[in-house]
Amino acid sequence: MRGGDDQDSVREEFLSEAQEIVETLSRDLLLLDQAQKERRDDPDLLNDIFRAVHTLKGLAGMFGMERLQELAHTLENLLDDLRLGRVDLTQETLDVLFEGVENIQRILARAEAGEDDVDLTGFAEAVDRFTEAAEVPTGNLDEYELGEHVTSVLTEYEEHRMRTNIEQDIPLYRLQVAFALASIDTALEDLKLRAKPFAELITYLPSMDGDDDDVISLEVLLASSAELEELRDVLCGTSGELEPVPRKQSARRPTMVPEDERKNPQSAPKKAQPRAQAGPVEEVVPDRGGGADALSLRSVANSVRVNIHKLDHLMNVVGELAIVRSAVAQMIEKIREWPELRSLSAELHRISRSFERNLEELQDGILDVRMVPLGQVFDKLARVIRQVARDNGKEIGMTVKGAETEVDKLIVEELSDPLMHLIRNAIDHGIETPAQRESRGKPRQGTLRLVAYQKGNHVLIEVKDDGNGMDSEFLLQTAIARGLINDDVSRDLGRDELFNLIFLPGFSTTETVTDLSGRGVGMDVVKTNISKLGGIIDVQSEVGVGTTFTITLPITLAIISALVVKLGADTYAIPLANVQEALMLEPAGIRTVEGREVMTLRGGTLPLCRLDELFRMQPPPRGRVNKQYVVVSQLGNRRLGMVVDSLLGQQDIVIKALGRSLSSVRGFAGATDLGDQHVALVLDTPQILEEVLASVERAKFVEVTT
């Protein structure tokens, strides 16, 4: 082992993890900034930020980056004061936080270059100015009949949240629930999740009346401005009882907190007593003080962060093993021909089969590791939706179904941009303003639905809005007006095909360019991005009812089924996801339309593309007498027949990227090792379709304009 390299890779790992944290931090700070501007309190977000900085501090300590550790510590202090309400969240404090993240980034950048010379003294002083002025919020816990058993066990943070809510006049509720001991963790998570949109869960305490050993009764304290009935509906699905916490008669008006209590909110005798009160069920009481830390420690122990390239590498090794396996199988076949070795060959055959099975399992296992739930993207989108709707003066509710559907990590990464675009479009053009909706007899609030589900080897994602819908006639007129299609063609278009006009480059129906969409980068980019993932996008719409986009994606990019074909002397693979059918070419059936070869397929016209001509390959010596085949490929509503010399069959392949030196070569999605030492190129069917048909459409366009 080379020690230097090891250290480098460990360092690299650290830097990438730290970078990831910084990215999350910047994102969360922006959200916090947004919340602050709207005078909205978001304790969860603040906690997330606090925890991220805390993790960073731990990491920095582990890797001996003292300066970073110091900086994180300073920030952590400020954040702690913020979440405990000792320091107010203002634009000034946010400025300091942003500056802090910038400093972290600076340190990381210098660290990458092996330097450690960022000066932080000025920054530390700026932070100190805030932390020194720390104060405690004044909301008075005495306003409520909380009971000694509650007030005495609140942590500093819980107490602060309680005070803040009281200060903002948000009523407190008490929920009594009982959970089975075995499933309390998941049940609590579920409760938190359900409560989240409506209420802030301040704390939960085990209560006294548990007779049953396997059941735990919890007293949950919530702050919520929702109506009691609504809250009951949301929370009481679990055999629970919800009631408002009674207020003390005398204490309606906020009163001043005694001086000594303000200075030291922990002075209450809570640390001394609470354990005894918790009684026999003490072990299962989550320790809220160290809760965040304990939780993150556990998750570190159970899961491993892995660079996706390492998984790619493993996949490569598995591919190599498959080649070894087939070589071994061939040897076994040879040995079989020797009668005196029959028992040996039978034994070898058995071993080889077991090898094969395990190899398949290994391959499936690696693929499984690459899978992540789509919820990862959906969560991000939910934040965007809220913001975009607000900016746009629209009321929008979002429902998500199937967030647990899993797809390959790489696909999830590439999916967020196209989905974001669809959603922005839906909010911008689709869903009407509350006033318009009311006048049309629709609920004020528009609904966006994200639905994901698996269907065979594909994952379908639907983005549905209940907005204005699209007028196909209007789309057609726009497309003609922009010269995107010609009049004759348009007559042949079916209703569904009309909607697909929006995917043409240069198509944009908004009259006014808004901040959100209609900037010319439109649906064609969405479509291209989806095709890059081997997927397709379709659209359905009804005027006044809404629009639905359906994205169909392969579950993984790592292994795909492909049709292996021969073209001249070379072998090519065509992803089956893009293949509709393959049939023999009838030379007599070929017609020429506008100088292009076409054939008739089930009553429709299918443009043909001779791949050897497209690829400008050497003309084959055989002439054109042999049988040839047509591979029909469809993208959205456009079809193309690719002419090849022969069909070799279907095979599962691992697509590997071509090197950078070939990045400018169009038409190939990568290459694959077919297992017989031959590398075959994998066709990028969407790109070929685009290329061939675009030139056809350009030709028509020229005809129209001249």
The residues binding other proteins (CB under 8 A) are 316-317, 319-320, 570, 615-617, 656-662, 665-668, 670-671, 673, 677-681
632 CB-near residues (< 8 Å, 6+ apart): 579, 580, 581, 582, 583, 601, 606, 639, 640, 641, 642
Instruction: Give the contacts of 29 (CB within 8 A, at least 6 positions apart).
Output: 49, 94, 97, 98, 101
CB of 311 to other proteins, least distance (A): 13
Nearest by Cα to 521 from 384, 382, 425, 664: 425
The minimum distance between CB 669 and other proteins, in angstroms, equals 12
Q: Which is nearer to other proteins, 127 or 640 (CB)?
A: 640
Contacts of 25 (CB under 8 A, 6+ apart): 49, 52, 53, 56, 101, 104
| Parallel/antiparallel/unpaired status of strands 241-244 and 172-180 | antiparallel
Judged by DSSP in three states, 21 sits in helix
Place of tokens 């913020």: 82
E strand or H helix that includes residue 483: none
Helical packing angle, 3-37 and 43-62, nearest 10°: 160
Least Å distance between CB 611 and other proteins? Answer: 9
At closest approach, how far in Å is the CB of 654 from other proteins? Answer: 9
- Give burial (CB, 10 Å; 0-12/13-18/19+) of 670: middle
> 385: closest CA among 429, 426, 433, 434?
426
Residue 503 token pair: 């995917």
Q: Pick between residue 373 and residue 670 the one whose CB is nearest to other proteins.
A: 670
What is the closest distance, in whole angstroms, from the C-beta atom of residue 124 to other proteins in the complex?
36
Q: What is the DSSP letter of 339?
A: G
Of 34 and 687, the one with the shorter C-beta distance to other proteins is 687
In the complex with other proteins, the residue whose CB is nearer, 47 or 687, is: 687
Residue 177, phi then psi, degrees to nearest 5: -130, 160
| Residue 210 vs 670, nearer CB to other proteins | 670
545-576: b (≥16 Cβ within 10 Å) or e: ebbbbebbbbbbbbbbebbbbebbeebbbbbb
Residue among 618 and 706 whose Cβ is closer to other proteins: 618
Tell me the residue ranges of DSSP E strands in 603-665. 604-610, 629-635, 638-644, 646-654
User: Smallest distance from the beta carbon of 278 to other proteins, in angstroms?
Assistant: 58
CB 681, min distance to other proteins, A: 7
Q: How far is the CB of 663 from other proteins (least distance, A)?
A: 10
Q: Which DSSP string do the residues of 362-412 spell out, in sequence order?
A: HHHHHHHHHEEETHHHHHHHHHHHHHHHHHTT--EEEEEE-TT-EEEHHHH
The nearest distance, CB 632 to other proteins, in angstroms, is 21
Q: Whose Cβ is closer to other proteins: residue 35's or residue 614's?
A: 614
Say what angle helices 3-37 and 91-112 make with each other, to 10 degrees.
170
Between 286 and 667, CB nearer to other proteins: 667
Q: Do 145 and 245 form a contact (C-beta atoms < 8 A)?
A: yes
Nearer to other proteins (CB atom), residue 661 or residue 706: 661
Give the 3-state secondary structure of residue 136.
Answer: coil
Minimum CB distance to other proteins, residue 405 (Å): 30
- Which residue number, 342 or 666, has a Cβ lying nearer to other proteins? 666
Helix residue ranges per DSSP H, 63-151? 66-83, 91-112, 121-132, 148-151
Query: How near is the Cβ of 371 to other proteins at its closest, in Å?
Result: 22
Between 58 and 675, name the residue whose CB sits nearer to other proteins: 675
Residue closer to other proteins (CB basis): 312 or 524: 312
In single-letter form, the type of residue at position 618 comes to Q
Place of tokens 């809404």: 546
Taking the C-alpha atoms of residue 258 and residue 300, their distance in angstroms, rounded to an integer, is: 43
Which DSSP state fits 578? G
Give the shortest CB-655-to-other proteins separation in angstroms. Answer: 10
**Cβ of residue 421: shortest distance to other proteins, in angstroms?**
30
Question: Closer CB to other proteins, residue 237 or residue 619?
Answer: 619
Q: Measured from the CB atom, is 33 or 612 closer to other proteins?
A: 612
Least Å from the CB of residue 608 to other proteins = 18
